[in-house]
Homo-oligomer: A and B are copies of this chain.
Amino acid sequence: MPREKLHIRTLKERYNVGTSPLREALSQLIAKDLVISENQRGFYVSDISIDDLTDIYQARAKIESLCIEMAFQKGDDHWEANALAASHRLNKYSESEHIDMEEWQNRHSAFHKSLVAGCMSPRLLQIRHSLYEKSTRYRNLWLKENISNTETLGINQKEHTELLNLALSRDTEGATRLIEDHILTPVEIIKKSLSQL
Where the two chains meet, the residues of A that have a C-beta atom closer than 8 Å to any C-beta of B are: 19-20, 23-24, 27-28, 30-31, 55-56, 58-59, 62, 66, 70, 121-124, 127, 131, 134
Contact = CB atoms under 8 A, between A and B. Distances in A.
Given A20-B23, A58-B121, A59-B127, 15 more contacts: A23-B24, A24-B24, A24-B27, A28-B31, A31-B31, A55-B121, A56-B123, A59-B121, A59-B124, A62-B124, A66-B66, A123-B131, A123-B134, A127-B127, A127-B131
Chain A binding surface SS class: helix
A22 to B, nearest CB: 11
B55 A66 contact: no
Nearest 10 interchain pairs by C-beta = A31-B31, A27-B27, A59-B123, A55-B123, A59-B124, A55-B121, A127-B127, A24-B27, A55-B122, A59-B121
B55 A62 contact: no
Copies of this chain present: 2
Of A70, A121, A131, chain B has the most CB atoms within 10 Å of the CB of A121
Contact of A66 (B24, B62, B131, B134): B62
A27 B27 CA distance: 7
20 contacts: A19-B20, A20-B20, A20-B23, A23-B24, A24-B24, A24-B27, A27-B27, A28-B31, A30-B31, A31-B31, A55-B121, A55-B122, A55-B123, A56-B123, A58-B121, A59-B121, A59-B124, A62-B70, A66-B66, A123-B131
